[in-house]
């Protein structure tokens, strides 16, 4: 027997006993990687017998089940470069004992400094820990995925909530603007009573109102001042599907030209010096409702083109913003101007006129529906008497025929004003007129001038009599039965300027 063998044997005898007492499976290999000795734990863990182990090449153990590529890598490539190599993880599927996850710790034991005498291979069975670790990792992975999905859903939810919040904010702004608008409207004390009259002319107008109310068609209401064009617009809205929302009104003659754009389309905060908050325009307030553009004939040309765009595409931008806003507002426009003539004179855009003139309704002047006058007189005398606490309820025949024969350039509004003055002037139940309606009529009928020239003279006359007081009590507007914006528009149109 060679000397090495004896030395080894002596060494092994010493270690065999305590190798067996170590719980971790251990293998002692010779430099050719044959098993010199294995401990009890190895035999038990890997179900191999000592007689099939000692002297056998490690890869041939258990029917070559130990022919594991990673083990080869450790023993033949890594270990020759290192004296010790720990925690080398190997997973392998054994026939009898199943899959094992092992942590290998290898160490070279030298006889002298140069030659390896033995290799100690400690095999830590970490299958359970590893499986538990993998199980935990799987849980963590699943949980992370769940959290990522939940996060994504939360983000989507947040985005949806933000979008909904924006929509709510926009709706709130619209509602607030509509409410503010309605407050102003109430201050203006609109007359919401029915349209009085039974003349054929009026019946035809009401027939047309019913015919068009239900659709979304643009309506153009034409007629002299005070004939009841606004009442017609309100009536169309009242019969339409949009009746539960407001009829939003813009008087194009009442606003200074520099404010109309912002009034119609709104402005952003800071759009101009005085705009310290965002303001919705009438188009936005009227989204889903009806927009009544009164005195549209007075709209400056540059705004007519902007209006045309809204009519064509329903789109516009707020002043100071480049964001396009789309609205669905039903348009009713009114004017006492002859728009065809305005187009010819280049004061009104032809394309806008076509857009507006889809469904014109003309309100006949009061002098052309004389049969409405007694009904209107009764209605207004009663109403005014009630308001003033008077008991005027008799209209003498001669008074009624004077009223019926009068020209009524200011139409129903003028009639209303004349009757108010008459009721104030009447001390008993009989109505006494204050205004000299005969005189005014004769004065007009004597004239051979055109209606326009006559109108100019008459307005000038009244303005001079009132010292050019345009609005308020005893003003030209009151005498003429016009509202002050209409009077101002008239003055502009007829080129009347204060001397
Ligand atoms: N048929 C009617 N029945 C009852 N009131 C009427 C009638 N027509 C007009 N009015 C009254 O006459 C006044 C003027 O009416 P409205 O403002 O509708 O006229 P308009 O044609 O729009 O005038 P403008 O062109 O000056 O704006 C209002 O007080 C209105 O209630």
Instruction: Name the band, by pLDDT with cuts 50, 70 and 90, for residue 192.
Output: very low
**% the chain with pLDDT above 90:** 47
Distance of alpha carbon 405 from the chain centroid: 56
- What pLDDT, on the 0 to 100 scale, is given for residue 449? 61
* Candidate from 111-125, 139-153, 233-247, 481-495 with smallest mean pLDDT: 111-125
Instruction: Name the band, by pLDDT with cuts 50, 70 and 90, for residue 447.
Output: very low
What is the dihedral sign for C-alpha 287, 291, 297, 299? negative
Query: Residue 486 CA: which ligand 1 atom is closest?
Result: 26
Higher pLDDT, 187 or 234: 234
* CATH classification (class only), 200-362: alpha beta
- The answer on pLDDT for 369 being more than 90 is yes
**Ligand 1 centroid to residue 59 C-alpha, Å:** 111
Interatomic CA distance for residues 359 and 290, integer angstroms? 16
Q: Closest by alpha carbon to 319, among 251, 286, 272?
A: 272
Closest C-alpha to ligand 1, atom 25: 225
The response to whether residue 223 sits with its C-beta less than 6 Å from ligand 1 reads: yes
The response to whether residue 101 sits with its C-beta less than 6 Å from ligand 1 reads: no
The response to whether residue 119 sits with its C-beta less than 6 Å from ligand 1 reads: no
- The answer on pLDDT for 180 being more than 80 is no
**Ligand 1 centroid to residue 76 C-alpha, Å:** 109
Q: Provide CATH code, domain 366-493.
A: 1.10.8.60
The response to whether residue 231 sits with its C-beta less than 6 Å from ligand 1 reads: yes
Mean pLDDT of 261-274: 81
Closest C-alpha to ligand 1, atom 9: 228
- What pLDDT, on the 0 to 100 scale, is given for residue 379? 93
* pLDDT tens track for 392-431: 989 999 999 999 999 999 999 999 999 999 999 998 899 9
Mean pLDDT of 241-259: 87
The response to whether residue 415 sits with its C-beta less than 6 Å from ligand 1 reads: no
The response to whether residue 197 sits with its C-beta less than 6 Å from ligand 1 reads: yes
Do the beta carbons of residue 291 and residue 248 sit within 8 Å?
yes
Do the beta carbons of residue 358 and residue 215 sit within 8 Å?
no
Q: Closest by alpha carbon to 431, among 387, 376, 388, 385?
A: 385
**Parallel, antiparallel, or unpaired for β 315-317 and 98-110?**
unpaired
- The answer on pLDDT for 124 being more than 80 is yes
Query: Residue 416 CA: which ligand 1 atom is closest?
Result: 12
- What pLDDT, on the 0 to 100 scale, is given for residue 497? 82
* pLDDT tens track for 136-151: 999 999 999 999 998 8
Q: What are phi and psi of 254, to 5 degrees?
A: -85, -20
Closest C-alpha to ligand 1, atom 16: 228
Instruction: Name the band, by pLDDT with cuts 50, 70 and 90, for residue 343.
Output: very high
Mean pLDDT of 122-140: 91
Interatomic CA distance for residues 486 and 253, integer angstroms? 7
Indicate the burial class of 258 (C-beta count within 10 angstroms; 0-12, 13-18, 19 or more): exposed
The response to whether residue 335 sits with its C-beta less than 6 Å from ligand 1 reads: no
- The answer on pLDDT for 174 being more than 80 is no
The response to whether residue 230 sits with its C-beta less than 6 Å from ligand 1 reads: yes
**How far is the CA of 454 from the CAs of 99, 443, 444, 461, 499, in angstroms?**
114, 10, 7, 10, 19
Do the beta carbons of residue 197 and residue 302 sit within 8 Å?
no
- Give the start-to-end residue ranges of the domains of the chain: 3-125, 200-362, 366-493
Average pLDDT value over all residues in the chain:
86
Do the beta carbons of residue 221 and residue 332 sit within 8 Å?
yes
> Residue with structure tokens 């007694």?
374
Interatomic CA distance for residues 499 and 497, integer angstroms? 6
Higher pLDDT, 440 or 395: 395
Instruction: Name the band, by pLDDT with cuts 50, 70 and 90, for residue 1.
Output: very low
The CATH number of domain 3-125, selected from 3.30.450.20, 3.90.226.10, 3.40.640.10, 3.40.30.10: 3.30.450.20
Instruction: Name the band, by pLDDT with cuts 50, 70 and 90, for residue 173.
Output: confident
Q: In what order do the strands lie in the sheet with 247-251?
A: 247-251, 290-294, 330-335, 219-222, 359-362
**% the chain with pLDDT above 70:** 90
ipTM of the complex, rounded to two decimals = 0.98
Integer Rg of the chain from CA: 51
- The answer on pLDDT for 384 being more than 90 is yes
* pLDDT tens track for 200-240: 999 999 999 999 999 999 999 999 999 999 999 999 999 89
The response to whether residue 228 sits with its C-beta less than 6 Å from ligand 1 reads: yes
- The answer on pLDDT for 57 being more than 70 is yes
Interatomic CA distance for residues 469 and 476, integer angstroms? 6
Mean pLDDT of 468-472: 88
The response to whether residue 227 sits with its C-beta less than 6 Å from ligand 1 reads: yes
* pLDDT tens track for 289-318: 999 999 999 998 888 988 898 888 888 988
- What pLDDT, on the 0 to 100 scale, is given for residue 12? 65
Q: Closest by alpha carbon to 299, among 262, 348, 344, 337?
A: 348
**Ligand 1 centroid to residue 226 C-alpha, Å:** 5
**Ligand 1 centroid to residue 204 C-alpha, Å:** 17
| SS3 of the chain | CCHHHHHHHHHHHHHHHHHHHCCCCEEEECCCCEEEEECHHHHHHHCCCHHHCCCCEHHHHHHHCCCCHHHHHHHHHHHHHCCEEEEEEEEEEECCCEEEEEEEEEEEEECCCCCEEEEEEEEEECHHHHHHHHHHHHHHHHHHHHHHHHHHHHHHHHHHHHHHHHHHHHHHHHHHHHHHHHHHHHHCCCCCCCCCCCCHHHHHHHHHHHHHHCCCCCEEEECCCCCCHHHHHHHHHHHCCCCCCCEEEEECCCCCHHHHHHHHHEECCCCCCCCCCCEECHHHHCCCCEEEEECHHHCCHHHHHHHHHHHHHCEEECECCCCEEECCCEEEEEECCCHHHHHHCCCCCHHHHHHHCCEEEECCCHHHCCCHHHHHHHHHHHHHHHHHCCCCCECCHHHHHHHHHCCCCCHHHHHHHHHHHHHHHCCCCECCCCCCHHHHHHHHHHCCCCHHHHHHHHHHHHHHHCCCCCCCCCCHHHHHCCCHHHHHHHHHHCCCCCC
- What pLDDT, on the 0 to 100 scale, is given for residue 443? 46
The response to whether residue 195 sits with its C-beta less than 6 Å from ligand 1 reads: yes
Query: For the stretch 418-443, what's the b/e string if a residue is b when 16 or more beta carbons lie within 10 angstroms of its beta carbon?
Result: bbbbbbeebeeeebebebebeeebee
**Ligand 1 centroid to residue 389 C-alpha, Å:** 24
């Amino acid at each position: 027997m060679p000397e090495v063998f004896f030395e080894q044997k002596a060494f092994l005898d010493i270690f065999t006993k305590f190798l067996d007492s170590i719980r971790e499976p251990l293998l002692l290999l010779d430099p050719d990687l044959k098993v010199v000795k294995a401990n009890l734990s190895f035999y038990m863990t890997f179900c191999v017998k000592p007689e099939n182990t000692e002297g056998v090449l490690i890869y041939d153990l258990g029917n070559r089940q130990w022919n594991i590529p990673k083990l080869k890598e450790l023993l033949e490539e890594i270990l020759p470069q290192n004296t010790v190599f720990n925690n080398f993880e190997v997973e392998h599927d054994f026939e009898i004992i199943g899959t094992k996850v092992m942590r290998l710790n290898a160490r070279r034991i030298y006889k002298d400094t140069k030659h390896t005498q033995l290799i100690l291979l400690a095999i830590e069975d970490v299958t359970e820990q590893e499986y538990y670790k993998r199980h935990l990792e799987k849980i963590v992975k699943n949980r992370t995925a769940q959290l990522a999905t939940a996060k994504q859903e939360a983000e989507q939810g947040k985005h949806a909530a933000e979008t909904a919040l924006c929509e709510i904010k926009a709706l709130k702004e619209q509602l607030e603007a509509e409410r503010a608008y309605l407050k102003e409207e109430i201050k203006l004390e609109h007359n919401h009573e029915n349209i009085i009259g039974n003349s054929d002319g009026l019946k035809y107008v009401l027939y047309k109102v019913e015919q068009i109310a239900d659709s979304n068609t643009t309506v153009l209401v034409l007629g002299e001042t005070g004939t009841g064009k606004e009442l017609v617009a309100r009536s169309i809205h009242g019969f339409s599907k949009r009746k539960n929302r407001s009829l939003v009104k813009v008087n194009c003659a009442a606003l200074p030209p520099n404010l109309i754009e912002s009034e119609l389309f709104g402005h952003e905060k800071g759009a101009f010096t005085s705009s310290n908050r965002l303001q919705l325009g009438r188009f936005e307030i009227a989204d889903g409702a009806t927009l009544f553009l009164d005195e549209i004939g007075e709209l400056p040309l540059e705004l007519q083109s902007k209006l045309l765009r809204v009519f064509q595409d329903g789109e516009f931008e707020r002043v100071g913003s480049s964001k396009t806003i789309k609205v669905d507002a039903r348009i009713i426009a009114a004017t006492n101007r002859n728009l065809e003539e305005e187009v010819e004179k280049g004061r009104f855009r032809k394309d806008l006129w076509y857009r507006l003139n889809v469904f014109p309704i003309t309100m006949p002047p009061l002098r052309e529906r004389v049969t409405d006058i007694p009904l209107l007189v009764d209605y207004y005398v009663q109403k005014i008497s009630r308001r003033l606490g008077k008991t005027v309820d008799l209209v003498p025949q001669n008074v009624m025929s004077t009223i019926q024969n009068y020209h009524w350039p200011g139409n129903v509004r003028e009639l209303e004003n004349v009757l108010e003055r008459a009721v104030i002037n009447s001390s008993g139940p009989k109505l006494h007129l204050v205004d000299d309606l005969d005189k005014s009529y004769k004065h007009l009928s004597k004239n051979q001038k055109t209606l326009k020239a006559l109108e100019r003279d008459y307005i000038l006359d009244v303005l001079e009599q009132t010292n050019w007081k345009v609005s308020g009590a005893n003003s030209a507007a009151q005498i003429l039965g016009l509202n002050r914006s209409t009077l101002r528009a008239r003055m502009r149109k007829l080129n009347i300027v204060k001397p």
